[in-house]
Each structure stands twice: as C-alpha cells, then as structure tokens.
Amino acid sequence: MARLVTDTRERIIAAASKLFYDDGIRGVSVDAVAAKAGLTKRTLYYHFKSKDDLVAAYLAARDQPNLALFKRWFAETEGGLPDKVEGIFRNLARSARHPKWKGCGFLRTSAELANMPGHPAIRIGAAHKKKFEDWLRAAFEAEGIAQAAQLARQVLLLLDGSFAVVLLHRDPSYMETAGEAAASLTKAALPARRKRAAAGR
C-alpha cells in the first residue's frame, strides 16, 4: 500500500513538473495536473492538500537532480578551477539552445510568487540557491581561495543573471559570456601558486 501511495504521489509530481515548467504555475490548474497524471482531482487532493503544496513538491523534486547536474558538469570539465566553473555555464548554454528550454524553474516560480514571500515554494527555491552557493564556496575553499564565500556569491549572481537575460533575448551566448566572467573572477582569486600552475598548462 505504501508503495502504491508513493507511486501515485510521484506520478502527480511528474505531471505537475511538466506542466508547471512549460506553462508556469499560474497558467496550470489542479484539474490540468490531475488529467495529465490520469487521476481524479479527488485523488490528487488526497496526496496534496492544496495547489501550493503541489507547487512546493514540484520544486523540491528539482532540487537534488539540479544540484547533481551542476556538480557533474563541474567535475567532467577538463582543466583547472576557472575552467570547471566556466564549464557549468557552457553546459547551461547548450541546454538553453534546446527549443523546450524555459529557464530556471526556481527563478520563474519565485517571480510568479513575488507577492507571497512566505510561500513554501519560495523557501525551497531560496534553499536550493543557497545549497549551490555553499557547494561552490566549499570548492573554492578547497583550492585555497581566501574570499571563497564572496566569490561563490558573485558566481551565483552571474549564473542567475544569465538565466534572466537569456530568457529575455533567447540568446545563450549571454550565458557563455557570464561563464567567461565567472572564470576570470575565479582565476583572479586563486592563490599565486595556483595561478602559476594554471599558466603552465
């Protein structure tokens, strides 16, 4: 029974994720999510007491997969730390060239809920961005960067700024330019010995 409940809940979240990401949370009704999941609205409300809870679950389901993807792109990019940071942006730019790309689900949802700062989805989105920032800070600290927290925040700002501008212009090269800026900031922050090592490659 527990497995059935979990499967049904995951089915609802999968349907909501597709619809919310494609059309925005304001543009999608609970009826539409239930229909997409192949369930009755009554069944949906058995698992989620409100649309707000469903929106929060949608973002919560994106949290770890998104973070894991950023970490994989970082790890798989060859070169030193500046290259790896830029690699995140390059991979995002490649994703942004896909016709179904609609930007950052966390940022888009926060924009739709701008007048509801206490909404659970806002808290989940803020926590997701903080996890990314904290992970970058740890990566920078591991390389001996003294102002790791400040650099992590600067890179996050470049990342989220590029999400917004690319969504406006539909030109992923803005994301690549932001990546170049992030790499330059990272290189400038490296201890002297790391800079010499990077120059020697």
Please provide the DSSP assignment of 62-90 as one string.
Answer: HHHHHHHHHHHHHHHS-SSHHHHHHHHHH
Rounded to whole angstroms, what are the CA distances from 89 to 13, 69, 102, 117, 195?
28, 12, 16, 29, 21
| pLDDT above 80 (res 183) | yes
What's the pLDDT tens digit per position in 127-154? 999 999 999 999 999 999 999 999 999 9
Q: Where in the chain are the domains?
A: 1-49, 56-199
Helical residues (DSSP H) of the chain, grouped into ranges: 2-23, 30-37, 41-47, 51-76, 81-96, 105-112, 120-142, 148-169, 173-189, 192-199
* 1-49 carries CATH number 3.30.160.100: no
pLDDT on residue 200:
52
Chain mean pLDDT for the chain: 94
Residue 1: predicted pLDDT: 52
CATH code for the part of the protein at 56-199: 1.10.357.10
For the cut 90, the answer to whether the pLDDT of residue 201 exceeds it is no
Q: What is the pLDDT of residue 81?
A: 97
The structure's pTM equals 0.90
Percent above pLDDT 90 for the chain: 92
Q: What is the pLDDT of residues 112-132, one digit of tens each?
A: 999 998 999 999 999 999 999
Please check the confidence at residue 82 and state whether its pLDDT lies above 80.
yes
> What is the distance between the terminal CA atoms of the chain, rounded to a whole angstrom?
58
Question: pLDDT-derived band of residue 6, with 50, 70 and 90 as boundaries?
Answer: confident
Encoded tokens for 46:
């058995």
